Structure 1
Amino acid sequence: AYLDEMIENGIEPMINLYHFDMPEALQKQYGGFESAHVTDLFARFARTAFELFGHKVKYWITFNEPIVPVEGGYLYDFHYPCKKDGRLAAQVAFNIMLAHAKAVREFRALALESGIGVVLNLTPSYTRNDSAEDQKAAWYADLFFNRSFLDPLVKHQFPKALCEILAAHDCLPEVTKADVELITGSRVDFLGVNYYVPRRVKARESDYTLDYFTPEFYFENYVNPQGRFNPYRDNNEILPQAIYDIAANIRDNYGNIKWFLAEIGIAMDIESEGEPGEDGVIDDSFRIGLMEEHLVQLHRAIADGANCFG
């Protein structure tokens, strides 16, 4: 009934199957996506959803921001299970891609007249300067945070350099040839893109002191002294130009796959929004202006050939 109501009112539903919501029972019993068994359970869940709603929904998404559970749960301690283990992070990343591929396989088996894709949070990496060292730092950041999922899921190949780095740090996940081939042989019909903030990096200038591997072994994060920042929360940098750069990267390096902008925005605390006026409306001109700036960059990218459909 809910989907019918949306469609009757001219709203095209998109169903996303996973948004950081591992069932507690599966996390406790199997370790969530630490376990390959859970990838089979995810595929069964996906097929059930496809069978129930596939005749009504034209756009299916397997995962939203699949790298975030890896970062938060196994590298940077901001998502459950709050572990710090580079090898386990790589295993979870691989298993999430495997779960995605198994869900896509179930989708294809049903021959639905709709499409399936994945939503990735893509973050362009910008350097402190044009030195070779800083350029290499940005290359590493892009490899870990963008290409790690983009290449297998869109280009159908795991980056050789990433595999070599993980091997050098004893962080290669346990895989089978069949699972690798399932991932690289899988095809998405479209890509979703989330963007909030840019990544600024520089070559490492201090020793790496953590006792487990993270991507920052190869670079340091950097704050642009000439940057423009969100004054209301976290002081995150504001860079609408990044939308254009993301679009150009997809156009030039990923076959200009069809994609849509799933999330953009800016975080603000409730206190910073102010009190509603007499008409009950909050003055949201700051955020509205930022949205407009980002969409201007998106339309510029479309004019330059980006295959963005929404």
Structure 2
Amino acid sequence: MKYAFPDNFWWGSASSAPQTEGETLAFGKSATIWDRWFAEQPTRFHHGVGPQHTSTFYQHWKQDIALLKELNHNTFRTSISWARLIPQGRGEVNQEAVKFYNQVFDELHAQGITPFINLFHFDMPMVMQERGGWESRDVVTAYAEYAQTCFELFGDRVKHWFTFNEPVVPVEGGYLYDFHYPNVVDFRRAATVAYHTMLAHSLAVKAYHERHDGGEIGIILNLTPSYPRSQNPADVKAANIADLLFNRSFLDPALRGEYPKELVALLREYDQLPACQPEDKALLASGVVDLLGINYYQPRRIKCRDSQVNPDSPFMPEWFFEAYDMPGRKMNPYRGWEIYEQGIYDILTNLRENYNNPRCYISENGMGVENERRFDENGQIQDEYRIDFVSDHLKWLHKGISEGSNCLGYHMWTFIDNWSWCNAYKNRYGFVSLDLATQKRTIKKSGEWFRETAAKNGFDDQR
């Protein structure tokens, strides 16, 4: 069967500044929370590999963009580093950074690749974290100033902006579950961080719309459908609460300009609401996006709790539900994630039926595999499993589009194997293999498959 995609479909991949640039404390860049955390607790990072060891995009940007062109990308997402552009968080702009990003954007355009640029990818400047991070409204204002600076410096060439990538992750990791700095476990503080993030988002969206630059601005959300174990009302309720906390807490303000009433009621009942100001409501309403990026990796399987909550334990989302390990599920054993291709279709269907079918695209989808050198034949990694993963997701994406979903493209995570937070290089995700010792880049079999798919704007399923 032939799977053909709409004309002008966005074929590309996604990356981020903190995971690719390197030179983390060089060329004027200040430390981020990752630099600080690695300095304090290097054993939290796989094999002790910290944020300075990334895929060296700062040094190899021209070569890497040539590879993007070779793989027939027409679009590419990365991020600007706040700590590199404005090392003190506010005030003076680092001209070394301006030069670097100008070169990157100019070269992307020269190669016929449209830049999609994100403003924040988990990389809070340490100087801003020391002022309270996202718990501080002053930092919210500083972020808005940073966004304005980016629009002014680069808005003539960047027409697709994003305020945040996966904003729920710093909330979960930094303030609930201890897998990001500052390693706080406190739901009320987490709720404040989530709320202030969306205020910062709205300030940036409002400022961009007021510029009339002829582009668009959006947000990138990791949408993880919550599937109940059964249709028993207790399981359905549990899945709905999981959806409220992890998906709709960002999706509704981004697409509707307001929070779900059920979520507000739930947090009020347990005295977990963040402090609000009268002007916040109008600000949130002005933060409705032009374009939604959707990161999809796995589903969330949910069941009602089988036991009572320990009343002395910290208030947590798991007071309302438990994870459900569905028998027979297909797994990526290296990442510990379920592979459920239909989820991508279910997300698009939900957006079409319940959110007025917004302009959107798949901004990340990918498969991390450990020790890929096992699959090296004659100098190339034969990652058939990645081709299967991508093509099986694209089939469900194609079905969603054929039913009317307004999905404009597909970006893979990621282009070149890159550094991935505490996992460092444990799992490889790229279309291009990276030799850490030599920094040599080699296209994998999946990269060749993607090159052909993008060139033909689709693929034939031979199986």
Query: Is the deviation greater in 83-92 or in 148-157?
Result: 148-157
Aligned to 2:96: none
Q: Secondary structure at the match of 2:309?
A: coil
Of structures 1 and 2, the larger Rg is shown by: 2
* Structure 1 counterpart of 2:331: 229
- 1:149 matches 2:266: no
In 1, the alpha carbon distance for the partners of 2:128 and 2:216 equals 28
Matches within 5 A, 1:201-280: 201-209=302-310, 211-231=313-333, 233-269=334-370, 271-278=371-378, 280=379
**TM-score normalised by length of structure 1:** 0.96
- 1:112-131 aligned within 5 A: 112-131=213-232
RMSD value, Cα: 1.1
Q: Is the 8 A contact 1:273 1:283 kept in 2?
A: no
Distance 2:207 2:400 in 1: 34
User: Is 2:114 the partner of 1:12?
Assistant: yes
Per-residue CA deviations over 1:218-254 (Å, capped at 9, x if unaligned) read 11111111211113x1331110000000000111111
Which letter maps to 1:20?
Answer: F
CA gap 1:263/1:273 in 2 versus in 1, 3 angstroms = farther
Q: Give 1:289's aligned residue.
A: 388
Instruction: Name the SS for the 1:274 alignment partner.
Output: helix
Tell me which amino acid in the other structure corresponds to 1:39: V
Equivalence for 2:129: 27
Matched, 1:63 2:169: no
Q: How many correspondences in the alignment?
A: 306
Give the superposition deviation at 1:272: 4.4
- Please tell me whether the aligned partners of residues 206 and 286 of structure 2 are also in contact (alpha carbons under 8 angstroms): no
Q: Which has the higher contact order (CA 8 A, sep 6+)?
A: 2
Whole-angstrom CA distance in 2 between matches of 1:230 and 1:292:
16
Unpaired runs of 5+ residues, structure 2, are 1-102, 410-463
**Off by >4 Å, runs of 4+ in structure 1:** none
CA distance in 1, matches of 2:211, 2:394: 36
Question: What do the CA deviations read for 1:175-233 (whole angstroms, capped 9, x no partner)?
Answer: 112022201232211100001010000011012236222211111111111211113x1
Instruction: State the distance in 1 between where 2:353 and 2:315 align.
Output: 31
Contact 1:202 1:219 in 2 (8 A): yes
**Cα contact 1:193–1:260 (8 A) shared by 2:** yes
Deviations 1:231-280 (A, max 9, x none): 3x1331110000000000111111100001000011211x14515221x2
Deviations 1:131-152 (A, max 9, x none): 1111111111111111111111
Q: Which residue, 71, 79, 84 being the options, matches 2:180?
A: 79
1:151-189 Cα deviation digits (max 9, x unpaired): 111012211111111111111101112022201232211
> Hey, what does 1:178 align to over in structure 2?
279
Identify the match of residue 300 of structure 1 among 391, 399, 412. Answer: 399
Is contact 2:303–2:323 with CA below 8 Å preserved after alignment?
yes
Q: What's the counterpart of residue 107 of structure 1?
A: 208
* Partner in structure 1 of residue 90 of structure 2: none
TM-score, with length taken from structure 2: 0.65
Unaligned runs of 5+ in 1: none
Structure 2 CA distance for aligned equivalents of residues 51 and 78 of structure 1? 35
Q: Letter of the 2:297 partner, please give it.
A: Y
Please name the residue that 2:104 is paired with. 2
Counterpart CA distance in 1 for 2:373 and 2:300 is 26
Structure 1 or 2: more helix by fraction: 1
2-structure distance, mates of 1:208, 1:74: 20
8 Å Cα contact 2:256/2:288 also seen in 1:
no
- Partners of 1:202 and 1:221 within 8 A in 2: yes
Greater alpha carbon shift after TM alignment, 60-69 vs 100-109 = 100-109
Sort the Cα spacing of 1:149 and 1:204 in 2 relative to 1 into closer, same or farther, 3 A: same
Alpha-carbon contact 1:195-1:243 (below 8 Å) kept = yes
The answer to whether the 8 A contact 2:296-2:365 is kept is: yes
